[in-house]
Structure 1
């Protein structure tokens, strides 16, 4: 295993962990409160459940490297939504009262990377389905 393989796996783990923790926080903190907040900013309340599930379940799948490209695409969609609906107005670095979208942008770019590059060498996708190897 090369250092590149190890580095890619580390990024895959951290991306999955970050999304998992955000999803877990939404469910533990009261998903109905999050749904109410979504509704208050003009989004369908039910979308909160979709986002939280993508983050929670998708985070676990990303850690395992299962369905990597699909999960990464869902993560990217969530980040585009967060930037477009909540964070974008404050600008990249924030406006002094609200944080910017620099963190969401990094998560978006890393997610798009996995959509394009596929899973790391240490992933269930590679072990079980031999996916992504032909595109390396």
Structure 2
């Protein structure tokens, strides 16, 4: 599923990356939320009886899809019909250790408040994410802001 989940007009700037040659071995497309305009205002079209009217999001998605080049190659597809072989031995121990005595209070009272980690990603759609390199072959983080702190 893609299309920034924020009310208002969406740009669908991730289309070029999703349908790029670099992603074709991982993704084969995506689902856009949602087709018909409902109370949450994420729709691509407005349906009124037998009438369907395209909305700005529909036109933005259409424009992005039309401006995106289809990936080349086969995405790493192989035609073999043989199943992977199972390992001869499994590297695990069936004996599970006892629960540490101090952990019981976590089960009863929970872990408490977080330690101050705060991160925004492109999913927050605050407009500050740099989409200029969405079709590059480099793998980059989608985080726009990351901070962390911990106490001992």
TM-score, L = length of structure 1? 0.26
TM-score, L = length of structure 2? 0.24
Larger Rg, first or second structure (1 or 2)? 2
Structure with greater proportional helix content:
1
Structure with greater proportional strand content:
2
